[in-house]
Structure 1
Amino acid sequence: MKKMLSIACFAMIFTACKNEATTTKEPVEKVDVSAKFNEMLDNYYEEGLQLNPVQATFAGDNRFNDQFPNPLAEETVNKTKAYFKKYKEQLAQFDDATLSESEKMTKAILNWECDMNLESFNFKQDYFPIDQMWSINLVAGQLASGASAQPFKTVEDYHNWLKRLEGYIDWMTSAEAKMKEGMAAGYVLPKSLIVKVLPQLEALTVEDLDQHLFYTPIKNFPEDFSDEDKKQLTEAYSKMVSEKIIPTYKSLHKFMSTDYMEAGRTSSGIEGIPGGKEFYQYQIKLYTTTTMTADEIHKLGLSEVARISSEMEKIKEQVGFKGDLKSFFDHVRSKKELMPFTEPQQVIDNFNAIHDRMKPQIEKLFDVKPKTPFEVRRTEAFRENSASAEYNPGSLDGTRPGIFYTPIPEVTKYNTYSDESLFLHEAIPGHHYQISLTQESEELPKFRKTLWYSGYGEGWALYSESLGKELGLYTDPYQYFGMLGAEMHRAVRLVVDTGLHSKGWTREQAIQYSLDNEAESEAGITSEIERYMANPGQALSYKIGQLKIRELRAKAEAELGDKFDIRQFHNQVLETGCVPLALLENKINTWIASNK
């Protein structure tokens, strides 16, 4: 699941959660408190949309589709700080004793949101506005393609995007200026990441409009557009792309390929910038929602790598491979039978076939399933070479499907050994179930429907991979090895992310450690290590969250015995949406106690 754009993660809220129907009348005072609390949530949500209208578009709210306030502008930064400070103060006015259990959780979550977003301004993240994987320009490219959240169904839609692009160009210009400031203050990307950004920028300097990504909507007019509208829009888009988009990308590409490249860091970890150690501890807290230290996580990672290695040895013996585990990794990476495809569509078809195989078993583990439609798509060409497989949520109203994107840069080298676990993680019952059920909830306030905590969200997705045998998958030992490989991949992340950012590891050391302990290709591992370099701490969330959910399931099974119902456990985990892990643990402990 990808990190959405912003320099501070803007929470978003729907209308107030519905009060549970009761047969007895609640005290007037209690009703008044709930009404005021919910009114505050409504206001928080509405202001959040105006601060981050692109996020609103992704949620399916199209009222602000022409807006792109520059998150690097001082005015936007000041508005954002004031927003979180105001709602932090308003939350303090509500005494926990006057709130329902659900409202108490909502208050705790919103306090967390305000605190973490305000703390983020202590660090100079605006000096790193562009990288090869996480930054706004990549999301803008998706929107520009016409195949993402930005609608291109009406003439007004087309004009909205033109207006939004004016704000985007302002951001691009600000990004270049911020990077120049960063250079002077010692805040620059590692050279190895700058190299990966350059072709992404260069691809959007092409002067042939028919080949330009930002011109794509003009080639896909709806049939009901008049000839006059088509003519006017074609002229407007030609002018925008030729006179503004292309020159802005050329300027940014020239700057990053010359002055910025020359200033690029040779160090790999975030400790190589001023205040890097403190920033990394903040990132750990942000992404794991825990107070764990880098050292604690590093040791946990080493322990998990050892445990999973012993499980991998069993599969190696099962398939009769003679040689050590590292040789077996090479065997899996290069096994021709695991690279059977000649056309990209065959990769998509394989994922759909996995879905069909597991459908008969899904009822045994889940009695609540999302209504939001689901699709598997190939990752767009302009970002495919640097992308990982990912899930993009559907719209809140269900009109836009949830999409599992898979990169297929070289189809004949596409290895299928981890496809079953990948589908469970990114699609069903991983991110698609977790996010869609949250968005479809009629009980949660809107801001909780669109929150994203990696510790919970990625933890759930990695936990979902362990459900393969229960869902009728992993009958092929290579696919089960793929699941172990995916879990190993997340365990290795605990070691290399903390190694890079707190122990002075180089990019090359991290790549070698990964090659020694997992079966991913060297190209894939290199892309992954560079991903961790660009967004410190994000990679830690998967394993930390998975281990917590597995721990809670084991506790529930042990304490409830015959009363344990796996479907109800999954409902309990999913029904509250993304929450910090400590709040999830409290919820499950309460559920266990009430069912004894």
Structure 2
Amino acid sequence: MRKISLLTGLLCTLFFIQCKKEDIKTDFTALCKSYFADKSALNPVDATVYGQNQYNAELLFEMTDSHRKAQGNFFDKYEKAIADVDYSELKEDEKVSYDIIKWEVSIGKEMLKYPTNLIPINQFAGTHLNMGMFAGGTSSQPFKTEKDYRNFLTRMDKFSVWIDSAMVYMKKGVRKGYVLPKALTLKVIPQFEELITEKPEDNLYYSAIKIMPADFPDAVKKELAAQYAETIRRKLVPQFQKMAHYLKTDYLAASRNTSGISSLPMGKEIYIALAKSWTTTEKTPDEIHELGLQQVAKLKAEIEAIKNQVGFKGSMKDFLNDLRTNKKLMPFTTPEQVLAHFDSIYNRIRPNVGKLFSVTPKTPFEIRRTEAFREKSASAEYIQGSADGTRPGVFYVPVPDAKTYNVLQDEDLFLHEAIPGHHYQVSLQQENTALPDFRKFNWFGAYGEGWALYTESLGKELGVYTDPYQYLGMLSAEMHRAIRLVVDTGIHTKGWTREQAIQYSLDNEAETEASIISEIERYMAVPGQALSYKIGQLKIMELREKAKKKMGSKFDIREFHKKVLESGVMPLELLEAKMDAWMGK
């Protein structure tokens, strides 16, 4: 055997080490790809929203035992997979990916301890509302090819079965004490009743047929129209009738008179887990409640200053009532005027974006009115576009009554929901080819909503808030998010009633009573979600002030925003570590 020289041996050793590093990198890259593929298959409705069109015919049966078992298997699989990865050998951004997977697996396993699947429907969010949005024909579900139409036909068929599954688990919930509050059940009933039509052609689920591409062969058009009509007539409408009847009779009678989740079995533990999930922190409900009270007091003083600036001569309560009812703040008579108003805000912001942002998204953007079937109980919202830019990001504005539409918070609202809020954050994340897919198409409320709330403070630099009432609208919107910390924890951990929470909001913000009622019922339906906004915003503002202090004259707001956004959503602890590294802690 030939002897190997010392130099040759050293080179071989270095080559072996490098190969091992490459193996680790390849393995982790494959793990990330597998994680995203498995996650998308488990969540096909989310996959459609994210533009993963291979799942467009599938539907999530999220309440079923079989789905929860599949979730548990998924979490176990990736808990083991990341345990086999040598963390020390990963690059910095790979470590972020690792930490995100670890966090998601941990919180996912924790949430599976609780039977939240026994309340599969509420008035604010869920499969029945997502399906309605898809059915409108202009949302995330594509309707460009014959295959697209057949995909949704299959999804409609599965949705009829989903309704039966939902009722099965709602009945289990009734037996075990997991039910909606009565006030929420009353809001869900019309969401199904409005889908009951005598003629299929008048049904929301027929909408896509009315916008079929002109180049479809006539025979295909006729066949699809007949199949959609048949599915609506024979499958969907009977199921909508069945669900509406069940809700109005048995379920309403069994619905609870309490408002908070703590009245449910294990409710206190469920809320702690939900608060952790939505804020991505270890803050306790008591800590969050106290933080909310502090923020409300701070903002109340700032609003008082604006009250004095505009010369209002009454109490704070009188001022808030005036803002709700002041006809000067309700200048419109048609929904088209409301949408045109947002267009004008967009045009004022656009020339100033470069002052604060060095990178802007390529994804197109549109402003649309919220669909009629959900407009009465909907909030303004942003629905992301597709990563390839073929579907625009959409800012949806509900205008149930244009004559009572109040413009007080419109500039602030546009910054939050559209630009540079959700549209910038989500689009830049999806367009970032350096991120693994599971991070390009991901969401953490504290980061995403925290960013959107943070951007509301940028209005003056972007050319808005020149009117003191619009600046007041920004303060009022921030107050609204501070109130959420108080009322969400109050409802779910301190025994607050729906009425008590409504009154607290009326006493401290300028939202209309109807809007406040809708908001409070939203918090009742989705415990903890409302905490994410203010918790995330305060962290981003804290990091900005920390960077300015540490970096001094070298601080560049454009670079700060780029660094916050460039890696996509993540738990706040990971964001803080990333920003500390950037500012040279």
Note the alpha carbon deviations across 1:94-115, whole angstroms, 9 max, x for none.
1211111111111000001111
Work out the CA distance in 2 between the residues paired with 1:161 and 1:580: 34
1:81 has 2:72 as partner: yes
Match of 1:535 among 523, 526, 539: 526
Structure-1-length-normalised TM-score: 0.94
Work out the CA distance in 2 between the residues paired with 1:302 and 1:131: 28
Structure 1 partner of 2:402: 411
Work out the CA distance in 1 between the residues paired with 2:37 and 2:202: 38
CA shift, 1:25, in A, is 13
Pair 552,312 (structure 1): closer, same or farther in 2 beyond 3 Å: same
1:393 has 2:384 as partner: yes
Note the alpha carbon deviations across 1:395-442, whole angstroms, 9 max, x for none.
121111111111000001001010000000000010000100000002
3-state SS in 2 of match to 1:572: helix
Match of 1:216 among 207, 221, 234: 207
Work out the CA distance in 2 between the residues paired with 1:68 and 1:308: 44
Structure 2 partner of 1:240: 231
Which amino acid in structure 2 is aligned with residue 132 of structure 1?
Answer: Q
1:373 has 2:358 as partner: no
Which amino acid in structure 2 is aligned with residue 212 of structure 1?
Answer: N
3-state SS in 2 of match to 1:417: coil
Note the alpha carbon deviations across 1:376-401, whole angstroms, 9 max, x for none.
11000000000001110111211111
Work out the CA distance in 2 between the residues paired with 1:215 and 1:26: 61
Which amino acid in structure 1 is aligned with residue 428 of structure 2?
Answer: L
Match of 1:95 among 82, 86, 98: 86
Match of 2:246 among 255, 277, 282: 255
CA shift, 1:70, in A, is 2.2
CA shift, 1:93, in A, is 0.7
Structure 2 partner of 1:3: none
Work out the CA distance in 2 between the residues paired with 1:97 and 1:200: 52
Alignment of 1:113-262 (within 5 A): 113-262=104-253
User: Do the aligned residues in 1 keep the contact of 2:64 with 2:169 (CA within 8 Å)?
Assistant: no
User: Do the aligned residues in 2 keep the contact of 1:70 with 1:167 (CA within 8 Å)?
Assistant: no
3-state SS in 2 of match to 1:444: coil
Work out the CA distance in 2 between the residues paired with 1:158 and 1:514: 45
Work out the CA distance in 2 between the residues paired with 1:448 and 1:91: 16
Work out the CA distance in 1 between the residues paired with 2:26 and 2:441: 22
Match of 2:535 among 531, 541, 544: 544
Match of 1:477 among 465, 468, 472: 468
Structure-2-length-normalised TM-score: 0.96
Work out the CA distance in 1 between the residues paired with 2:182 and 2:306: 39
Note the alpha carbon deviations across 1:455-481, whole angstroms, 9 max, x for none.
111000000000111112111000000
Q: List runs of 5+ in structure 1 lacking aligned partners.
A: 1-23
Which amino acid in structure 2 is aligned with residue 214 of structure 1?
Answer: Y
Structure 2 partner of 1:575: 566
Larger radius of gyration: 2
Structure 1 partner of 2:278: 287
CA shift, 1:171, in A, is 1.3
Structure 2 partner of 1:12: none
CA shift, 1:54, in A, is 2.1
User: Do the aligned residues in 1 keep the contact of 2:381 with 2:397 (CA within 8 Å)?
Assistant: yes
Work out the CA distance in 2 between the residues paired with 1:282 and 1:399: 37
Pair 482,26 (structure 1): closer, same or farther in 2 beyond 3 Å: farther
1:342 has 2:333 as partner: yes
3-state SS in 2 of match to 1:489: helix
User: Do the aligned residues in 1 keep the contact of 2:63 with 2:118 (CA within 8 Å)?
Assistant: no
Structure 2 partner of 1:467: 458
User: Do the aligned residues in 2 keep the contact of 1:70 with 1:170 (CA within 8 Å)?
Assistant: no
3-state SS in 2 of match to 1:63: helix
Alignment of 1:426-445 (within 5 A): 426-445=417-436
Q: List runs of 5+ in structure 2 lacking aligned partners.
A: 1-14
Structure 2 partner of 1:9: none
Which amino acid in structure 2 is aligned with residue 570 of structure 1?
Answer: H
User: Do the aligned residues in 1 keep the contact of 2:64 with 2:117 (CA within 8 Å)?
Assistant: no
CA RMSD of aligned residues (A): 1.3
Structure 1 partner of 2:9: none
CA shift, 1:69, in A, is 4.5
The answer to which of 218-227 and 192-201 deviates more is 218-227
Alignment of 1:286-365 (within 5 A): 286-365=277-356
User: Do the aligned residues in 2 keep the contact of 1:430 with 1:464 (CA within 8 Å)?
Assistant: yes
Work out the CA distance in 1 between the residues paired with 2:296 and 2:17: 54
Work out the CA distance in 2 between the residues paired with 1:67 and 1:500: 36
Work out the CA distance in 1 between the residues paired with 2:79 and 2:198: 49
Work out the CA distance in 2 between the residues paired with 1:261 and 1:64: 35
Alignment of 1:267-286 (within 5 A): 267-286=258-277
Work out the CA distance in 2 between the residues paired with 1:554 and 1:239: 60
